[in-house]
Amino acid sequence: MSSFPYIHISCPCHEDRPQTLTIDSARPISPSKSPSKRDFNFSPIAPNSPTKGRSLLAGFTPSVSFDAGNLNLDSDDEEELTDEDDDNNFDPRDPRSAFSLFPIENLLYCEDCHQIRCPRCVQDEIVCWYCPSCLFEVPSSTVKSDGNRCTRNCYLCPVCTALLAVVPVHHSSGHSSSDHPTGPFNLFCSHCHWTTSDLTPPIQLEKPTSISAQLSKLTHSPRDNEFIRLKQHYAQQLGNAQEDFTNSPAALTRLMGLYTGLGSGSGGHGGSRKGRGVKKLEMKEVDRPREVSEDQELDIIERMAVEGLEASKCIVALATHGRKKADGYGKATTAKQRLAQPHDPRFLSDLTPTAVLLRTKRSKRCRACRHILVKPEAKVQTTRFRIRLVALNYIPSLTIKRLDSSITWDNLTPHKTHRFLLTVTNPLFDPISVSLLTPRRTPGTAFASRVTILCPEFDVGANTDVWDDALMSTKPASAVPSGVKTPPTTGSFTSFSKDPKMSTVYEQKRNYTSVVIEVVPPEIPDTRDTRIRDERLLEIPIYVRVEFEAEVDRDDEEGGGGKPSHSGASGGAVQRERVEYSYWCVVGVGRVGDVVEGVVASEPNTPVRTPVGTPVKAPRTPAAMRTPLRQVRS
Amino acid sequence: MSQKSEYIQTETGNKVSRKSLIIGSQNIILGGKTIIQADCCIRGDLRRLVPQGQNAAAVAIAVGRYCFLSKSCLLRPPSKTYRGQFSYYPMKLGDHVFVGEGSVVEAAVIGSYVNIGKNCVIGKFSIIKDCVRIEDGTVIAPNSVIPSFSSVEGHPGIVVEELPETAAEMLERELNHQ
Ligand SMILES: [Zn+2]
Ligand SMILES: [Zn+2]
Ligand SMILES: [Zn+2]
Ligand SMILES: [Zn+2]
């Protein structure tokens, strides 16, 4: 997998089942343990929240409510309870999760559905075909008739896949400055020095241009004839049916009927279909078996025997004369080389140059509402897009850094408190309020790590440009987001941070805010079992919840809200509306290493007391630095 | 503070390490805000041969803006013998190009937003289009063309992944984090 650290976002297409979430640890830490410990019940019921929220993630809008009953629990019972409820959190280890987790760069955003869209929930449509080597566009009609490979002069080396160059067979010595090199020519690989002259029989071309036409004459094999015959047969079969196999459900039914219809000849269930108006269509397979020439097979066996003999000689030579390289069987093809060629070549001398596969430029549609999310410009060589709704521009992105540079990502120390800096960057033109929730213990494993976000609630400034920023600084502070969230007045969710003393924002700049996250990995034995399940991989699920007030054009409520901008005043009555949305993401922090002697389990949280309303940097020397670990090393 | 004096800053904001080796600087163009690290070697002296009487082609290597040439990398204009005459040909790099430590570049053209890893070999006359990532240790065969939105790996380098629509932002950020 990717190198550490990484942050993957779960696409909402993962959430196709109702679920109840219990999140507990993402709260300001309290030095005195008990009363502030709470459970939050997330229920998928339509939001009745006091904020007139327009849900951005329609399929997954947990409305948060206090479970009052849990407030009165004494601490011992609570611990048990939270452990049991771990199953309800997003579990990065669940085999299903892998399908919906993507880096934010790979996600799109549908403005109409107000949802993240991953490669699984978009539909690709080909805008154009082109050769990745000569960069010429190939019309789709040509692709249909001539196949999906370049028909110009682009060929790859069948041995190493590098691009082949056309070179004259006889190198004219530099003295004669003849203007045009004379033939014959061969194709030459400048990476592994393979040439078409290595083949048996050698392929040499008369002209340095129109390679495809020349090669197709020279390398025409019985298999090509077979392919042409098959193609003709099936084209005819389809032609008889006079069907256009478009993407409609009716066409699909007919297509499915092709083979069941064939079965009906022998008294299958196909008979029942007749009355239903589905046109019965007989599809005849080519039933002739592949012809194998005995002479050819014997020839191959003989050649392999010779190869084997040479191989054994080489091994002897290797043993007796200490030769550096045994190239026995060196003339046989590898599986990769063999599979890349249609004629199943067993020896290097049977390989033929492979034409370059075409590539496509594609536009992408939302599968749910069919709106276009990505539309590249049709010109092959441009990288511009006409439409490009990427999640990067719509949802805040997270990054994680080490606070203590002595942490090695792939060797985290068990029992040690690791501190990381979690940064939330706001791409929107409105300031946002962010809540980060994470299970106290990483779910889905018997070796859970303890995780605490020191300041789970904070504001992130708007993504104004630098000029706006300069203007802002002259204004009173009201426009600038305050460092620490004041005790909330509205919204049941926000009533969560009761103890703002413990909330410390580590760093706050124009449109990003950083907070500290503490991780204490457990001791994980290095057994076969833990290795199979990769228990040492430390992934933390974080639930990101975002709220902001956006200017919304009332006339166009459906379309306008996704990316609210300052210039929203377009005729209609402009109103501020509260928008909230949320998503799960998974932070791949690293891998837990072996136990280091002297590091013992300790109290994970070292709460920082700060005056209200003052953003204060967390201490540069975390408590872990003073643990015996450092003494051992120094 | 020795770090500060290591770099010479040009008028257009390029930062060139005093420990780098830049030969034939009159034939090299730096677009601005480009950083050249120590032990980097740029061969501006290897320029195109022109018949006597004609004006010499001035530029051997053109580098765009916001590029980053890491330690010990080498930029050498590609060469070949054409019609019996050996000559070097110019090399052009776009904006936001990152060249990793110890990589050797002999490309003809490298586009913008290209990230070349450590210890790569970019073969003679290869053309790398915009928005391409070349992983560490990749060897790009001579005369290759790497199309946009590609991630390339291996010996010889082949496209292993198509980069998403956000490739430019992604590669720019990767460059800034170096
Ligand atoms: Zn999806
Ligand atoms: Zn081509
Ligand atoms: Zn080759
Ligand atoms: Zn949609």
Q: Which residues contact A163 (CB under 8 A, 6 or more apart)?
A: A133, A154, A155, A156, A157, A189, A356, B141, B143, B144, B145
Do B156 and A106 lie within an 8 Å CB cutoff?
A: no
CB pairs under 8 A between A and B: 76
Residue A329: the pLDDT is: 66
B150: nearest CA partner in chain A? A132
Q: Is residue A256 part of a domain?
A: no
Pick the closest to residue B166 from A223, A518, A395, A551 (CA basis).
Answer: A395
Do A177 and B156 lie within an 8 Å CB cutoff?
A: no
Specify the number of domains making up chain A.
2
Written as six digits, the tokens of B54 are 């004609």
Written as six digits, the tokens of A550 are 């956006």
Domain borders along chain B are: 7-176
CA of A104 to the centre of ligand 4 (A): 18
Instruction: Identify whether the C-beta of residue B124 lies closer than 8 Å to the C-beta of residue B143.
Output: yes
Which residue type, as a one-letter code, is found at position A245? F
Q: Is residue A412 located within the same domain as residue A320?
A: no
The complex's ipTM? 0.92
What torsion do the CA atoms of A230, A236, A238, A241 make, to the nearest 10 degrees?
-150
Q: Which residues contact B115 (CB under 8 A, 6 or more apart)?
A: B97, B98, B132, B133, B134, B171, B174, B175
Instruction: Identify whether the C-beta of residue B45 lies closer than 8 Å to the C-beta of residue B63.
Output: no
Residue A282: the pLDDT is: 60
Residue A308: the pLDDT is: 76
Q: What's the pTM?
A: 0.75
> Could you say which residues from 171 to 210 on chain A have a Cβ atom under 8 Å away from some Cβ of chain B?
172, 174-179, 189-192
> Judging by beta carbons within 10 Å of its beta carbon (0-12, 13-18, 19+), is residue A151 exposed, middle or buried?
buried
Pick the closest to residue A39 from A6, A72, A8 (CA basis).
Answer: A72
Residue A410: the pLDDT is: 86
d(CA A66, CA A567): 38
DSSP code for A163: B
Q: Is residue A351 located within the same domain as residue A400?
A: no
Residue B21: the pLDDT is: 95
Residue A347: the pLDDT is: 83
Q: What are phi and psi of A273, to 5 degrees?
A: -75, -25
Phi/psi region, residue A492 (left: phi>0; alpha: psi -120 to 50; beta: rest), is alpha
The Cα-based distances of B103 to A275, A593, B69, B156, B165 in angstroms read: 70, 33, 9, 15, 27
Q: Is residue A301 part of a domain?
A: yes
Q: Is residue A614 located within the same domain as residue A507?
A: yes
Q: Is residue A609 located within the same domain as residue A483?
A: yes
Do A177 and B85 lie within an 8 Å CB cutoff?
A: yes
Pick the closest to residue A369 from A124, A126, A111, A563 (CA basis).
Answer: A111
Those residues of chain A that have pLDDT short of 50 are 1, 17-87, 174-177, 262-279, 323-326, 474-502, 555-571, 604-634
β-strand partners of A495: none
Q: Is residue A280 part of a domain?
A: no
A178: nearest CA partner in chain B? B83
Of the residues A108, A182, A383, A397, the best mutation for testing chain B's interface (the one with the most B CB atoms within 10 Å of its CB) is A383
Owner of token pair 């670990």: A629
Residue B31: the pLDDT is: 93
**What rounded mean pLDDT belongs to chain A?**
71
Please report which confidence band the pLDDT of residue B52 belongs to, taking 50, 70 and 90 as the band edges. low
Determine how many CB atoms are found less than 10 A away from the CB of residue A74: 9
B177: nearest CA partner in chain A? A401
Which string of DSSP letters, residue by residue, matches A409-469?
A: TT-BPTT--EEEEEEEE--SSS-EEEEEE--SB-SSSSSPPEEEES--EEEE-----HHHH
Query: Which CATH architecture does the domain made up of B7-176 adopt?
Result: 3 Solenoid (2.160)
Residue A240: the pLDDT is: 61
Written as six digits, the tokens of A585 are 């993401």
Pick the closest to residue B64 from B23, B103, B92 (CA basis).
Answer: B92
Q: Is residue A471 located within the same domain as residue A610?
A: yes
What pLDDT digit, counting tens, does each position of A67-90 carry? 333 333 333 433 433 444 444 578
B166: nearest CA partner in chain A? A105
Q: Is residue A281 part of a domain?
A: no
> Judging by beta carbons within 10 Å of its beta carbon (0-12, 13-18, 19+), is residue A193 exposed, middle or buried?
exposed
Residue A260: the pLDDT is: 60
CA A620 to chain centre: 35
Host domain of residue A320: 155-173+181-220+294-355
Which string of DSSP letters, residue by residue, matches A203-241?
A: P-BSSSS-HHHHHHHHT--HHHHHHHHHHHHHHHHHHHH
SS3 for A358-422 is CEEEEEEEECCCCCEEEEECCCCCCCCEEEECEHHHCCCEEEEEECCCCCCCCCECCCCCEEEEE
| Neighboring chain A residues of B143 at a CB cutoff of 8 Å | 163, 165, 190
Residue A138, CA atoms < 13 Å, CB-side half-sphere: 26
| CA–CA min distance A51, chain B (Å) | 34
Closest ligand to residue A370's CA: 4
Q: Is residue A492 part of a domain?
A: yes
**What rounded mean pLDDT belongs to chain B?**
91
Q: What are phi and psi of A292, to 5 degrees?
A: -120, 125
* pLDDT surpasses 50 at B25: yes
* pLDDT surpasses 50 at B134: yes
Residue A245: the pLDDT is: 54
Residue A176: the pLDDT is: 47
Cis peptide before A201 (omega within 30 of 0): yes
The Cα-based distances of B162 to A139, A333, A376, B147, B159 in angstroms read: 22, 28, 14, 10, 8
Q: Is residue A435 located within the same domain as residue A308?
A: no
The Cα-based distances of A532 to A12, A284, A403, A527, A538 in angstroms read: 29, 48, 31, 9, 14
Q: Is residue A400 part of a domain?
A: yes
CA B116 to chain centre: 9
d(CA A359, CA A340): 17
Closest ligand to residue A122's CA: 1
Cis peptide before A184 (omega within 30 of 0): yes
Pick the closest to residue A484 from A518, A451, A513 (CA basis).
Answer: A513
Q: Is residue A20 located within the same domain as residue A162?
A: no
Q: Is residue A442 located within the same domain as residue A580?
A: yes
CA of A59 to the centre of ligand 1 (A): 12
Q: Is residue A481 located within the same domain as residue A538?
A: yes
Closest ligand to residue A131's CA: 2
